[in-house]
Structure 1
Amino acid sequence: MAEKTKDNQNLVTLSTGVVVKGEPVSAFALLHATQKIKKPKVPRYYNSDTGREEDNPHHPDYIDAMNEYNAEIASAYIDCILTLGIKIVSVPDKFPKIDSDDWYSPLVAIGLINPDDMNNPTLRKIAYLKYICIRSESSDMELIMEAVGQKTGVLEKEVDQASDLFRSDS
């Protein structure tokens, strides 16, 4: 089970036994990581009763586009948090190490990652955290978001909103 230390070191023990430390993340990084994703435009239709064009936020294609948009926002936010706000402190003895090539071969085989990306230390770290270290998504991510949020100065309400995004899109 994931748990946060009670001291001021901001350490989190993930459900896998991996220990990570929350670090501050620039608010600008979080903002720009999510701002680059284009929000879908609300489709319009001609309402013959009113004689004018009106928004149709209930159109099925728009709803699908908004779901995809929200998933992309959550993914960009989480990638930013994992990249800039998490430092891997320790892993259990028999747990795959980030420098090993063994852990990512199955991920390549099922198409989750590109093997060329594993030469980039940042992309390797993101994949390692997402697919190997974080197994209990909701509890692990909630603690990670809380640890990073405390260091970043993010309000608890914002952490809850980000955690809700993660849960709804996972």
Structure 2
Amino acid sequence: MSDDVKDAGLVAMISSILGGNKRADIVAPPPLAEVPRTVPTSGSEPAEAAPPAAVPVKDEAEPNTAPPPAKPAEPPARIATTPDGRQLLPAEAIADLVLGELRKMEDFPASGASVTVYGYRHWNAMITFAPFSTSFQNATRFRQAMPDLVFKLRRFVALEI
């Protein structure tokens, strides 16, 4: 993969995190219906399963009601920048950026990898792996990719203190 392709991917990722691409909000699943517990009266009797909660069914004769009016959209928060134009981000956000770029690499573990961002003016990042999350050869390859990735990210992002 050429450096131009890697740079284009990095710029696209940074712009999407910093608000270049508007993503849909994550929708929480509806709450589960609670089922009352039944407790046996004596230790020898098995507990009976409670019937599932009834789900109300919409009557076809009811007229359609309009949804409640949506809240007015708040203006987007202003993103802090440095005098040289880099975005100021907290360490957790920068760690997510680094981890997101590393996840694009072949054989990167789905879980068990952690990135820590440290420093101040010339911030740096460190990657650690949980036991048995990846092989020694792959971990070495990912660690060798970190300095280049951090160097490129420093051009766009500064650590917020």
TM over 0.5: no
Q: TM-score scaled by structure 1?
A: 0.26
Higher percent of residues as helix: 1
Q: Which has the higher contact order (CA 8 A, sep 6+)?
A: 1
